């Protein structure tokens, strides 16, 4: 699959996680957009229309649930696939996350190759 021109928005309040994700995705040829909290993620998504959004749940301002709900309610962002990447790993957390209409839910710590598999599957 060609990654050329595919843009992925990553939103996490942890700069180290952002950097790891950014490097792993850029090495695979994706264009990466960054956001540090939910409000910023929504603004970037609405302006830039990425092909995929990777979203943390526990963040300041708007958490991942609120951000995802806002993205899904907006006409210009509602069809962008969202993947939750969160330390919230209980089955109830995963079920709650999926109830927001996310395309997938991965837990931290994560294996970068697992994340790349999910990204490739969703961007086919």
Q: Which domain holds residue 33?
A: 7-118
In a domain, 62, yes or no: yes
In a domain, 2, yes or no: no
Domains of the chain: total? 1
In a domain, 124, yes or no: no
Residue pair 45/9 in contact (Cβ under 8 Å)? The answer is yes
pTM of the model: 0.95
Q: C-alpha 43: how far from its chain's center?
A: 14
In a domain, 26, yes or no: yes
In a domain, 123, yes or no: no
The CATH number assigned to the domain holding 102 equals: 3.40.50.2300
**Closest CA relative to residue 103, chosen from 67, 68, 66:** 68
Q: What is the pLDDT along the chain (124 residues), one digit of tens a residue?
A: 567 789 999 999 999 999 999 999 999 999 999 999 999 999 999 999 999 999 999 998 899 999 999 999 999 999 999 999 999 888 998 899 889 999 999 999 999 999 999 999 999 8
| Four-residue CA torsion sign, 84, 87, 90, 92 | negative
**Closest CA relative to residue 104, chosen from 23, 20, 123, 70:** 123
């Amino acid at each position: 699959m060609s990654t050329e021109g595919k843009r992925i928005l990553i939103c996490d309040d942890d700069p180290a996680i952002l950097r790891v994700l950014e490097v792993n995705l850029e090495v695979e040829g994706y264009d990466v957009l960054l956001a540090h909290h939910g409000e910023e993620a929504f603004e970037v998504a609405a302006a830039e229309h990425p092909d995929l959004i990777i979203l943390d749940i526990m963040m300041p301002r708007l958490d991942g649930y609120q951000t995802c709900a806002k993205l899904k309610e907006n006409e210009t962002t509602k069809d962008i696939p969202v993947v939750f990447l969160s330390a919230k790993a209980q089955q109830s957390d995963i079920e709650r996350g999926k109830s927001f209409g996310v395309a997938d839910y991965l837990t931290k710590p994560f294996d970068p190759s697992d994340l790349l598999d999910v990204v490739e599957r969703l961007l086919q």
